[in-house]
Structure 1
Amino acid sequence: MFGLGRRRAAKAAEDELYADEADPAEQQGPFDAGEAPDDGVERLDLGSVRVPVPDGGQLQVEVDPAGPVRAVHMVTGVGRLTVSAFAAPRSGGLWSDVRDELADQLRKDGAQVHTEGGDWGAELVADSPKAALRFVGVDGPRWLLRGVAAGPSDNAAACADLLYQVLDKTVVVRGEDPMPVRTPLPIQLPDEIMQHIQQAQEQQEQSGAGSQTG
């Protein structure tokens, strides 16, 4: 694994007391771009978010047929992690509404849902036939960061802990442009990843054309 992980609740009073003297690597995120620490953590720049990728993690990209990137997942040995950012009101509090809506939808889909307290507030936990899910939301300045851990029930605790570590070191780049609340902040893939996707698409198209003419 990477990084130092998030602070535990038992250390909260001590961390607050010595906040001015804390090592940058110990600061708790996620961070707004204007307050990102110079902590030496290697992050993947996806435009609206900069996320650390766990050791051995594989990227899985969802791309709309029209072109925009829907999501970037990190597939690990314990499950799949997804981190997304959305435009939010200055007043904050968007996660509470989103969490309730997610819970309703998951219950309609047949999942057993409950909430648990975490370092960033209430988290949504769902058990479905397909996977164990955990949704973590963090209200920031004009943004909402949502993290999702999905994997087998046996790995639920390890997958959740890995998600906490990722969120703790994530940087959100909101930008200054006005956006409707809940609009997903755009994802921009690094050039080398885009080239890899384009090459894969071209090979798939060539393979399809070959099978039709064969």
Structure 2
Amino acid sequence: MFGRRRREESPVPAEEFARTEEPRGTTGGPARGSGPWDAADAYPERERVDLGGLRLPVDQGFEVQLNLAGEQIVGAVILFEESALQIHAFAAPKRSGIWDEVRAELAAGVKAAGGTAEEKEGPFGVELDARVPADGVAQPVRYIGVDGPRWFLRAVVSGRAATDAGVAETLEDVVRDIVVVRGDEPMVPKEPIELRLPPEARQAMEQQAEAPNGRDLRPFERGPEIAEIR
């Protein structure tokens, strides 16, 4: 379905996702103080969209889009208040995080593109505060990274939330409520954790695509972003 659209991202209104009440985790090591959560954590209950490798909190007023690599879903974008929150989850080594390495790669990429990047302390630890050239204008972008047990979560905040603390807080709360489902299969570090579309949402999108007078599924005009980690 996504291949026929030839679009990198396909938007899905939040209300079209099937929502499920999440159980509390009961296994794993010591409890984490806050999210994003590992699937084995005793995380707080709330409604989340089950995307397989991610359980994504979505509230009214959000629009959700999916990042595709071919036919594979590799990330999600939440649009809210003239802002975008891009979420990608990757495999990581068992005994060490990769955010320090990834952050250096991102900073180098921003500077090579003619932008600026500096580290600062944020709500999830050290993050990257960048200005990335786009259409001749330096756009503010925040790169947030969280190292989990054998996974790494990257969040990219752009648009109004990159400078508006009130809007940013809403999107930061989304990051705090994400649950990452790494799985037990062996994966190469930095390999994207594969996601899947809930059956109900896939059916709704197919019906919209087939409807002659269906509403236009406008692709998200992506803000400044560095290329995917490979």
User: Which TM-score applies when normalising by structure 2?
Assistant: 0.69
Distance 2:81 2:40 in 1: 33
1:64-143 pair list within 5 angstroms: 64=69, 66-130=70-134, 131-143=139-151
Cα deviation digits, residues 78-102 of structure 1 (max 9, x gap):
4011121110001222000000001
Cα distance change of structure 1 residues 68 and 197 upon mapping to structure 2, 3 Å threshold? farther
Cα distance change of structure 1 residues 115 and 74 upon mapping to structure 2, 3 Å threshold? same
Cα distance change of structure 1 residues 110 and 122 upon mapping to structure 2, 3 Å threshold? same
Conserved 8 A contact 2:162-2:168: no
Higher helix share: 1
User: Which TM-score applies when normalising by structure 1?
Assistant: 0.74
Length, aligned pairs only: 178
What SS does structure 2 have at the residue aligned with 1:82?
Answer: strand
Runs of at least 5 residues in structure 1 that lack an aligned partner in the other structure: 1-23, 205-214
Distance 1:85 1:147 in 2: 9
Q: Return the offset for 1:154.
A: 7.5
Higher strand share: 2
Runs of at least 5 residues in structure 2 that lack an aligned partner in the other structure: 1-30, 213-230
Of 178, 195, 199, the match for 2:186: 178
Conserved 8 A contact 2:55-2:178: yes
Say whether 1:29 aligns with 2:35. yes
Conserved 8 A contact 1:149-1:159: no
Distance 2:162 2:176 in 1: 23
Q: Return the offset for 1:69.
A: 1.5
Distance 2:50 2:114 in 1: 36
2:61 maps to what in 1? 56
What SS does structure 1 have at the residue aligned with 2:40?
Answer: helix
Distance 1:153 1:83 in 2: 15
Conserved 8 A contact 1:79-1:155: no
Cα deviation digits, residues 59-112 of structure 1 (max 9, x gap):
122334x41113221111140111211100012220000000011101111222
Conserved 8 A contact 1:133-1:151: yes
Conserved 8 A contact 2:89-2:192: yes
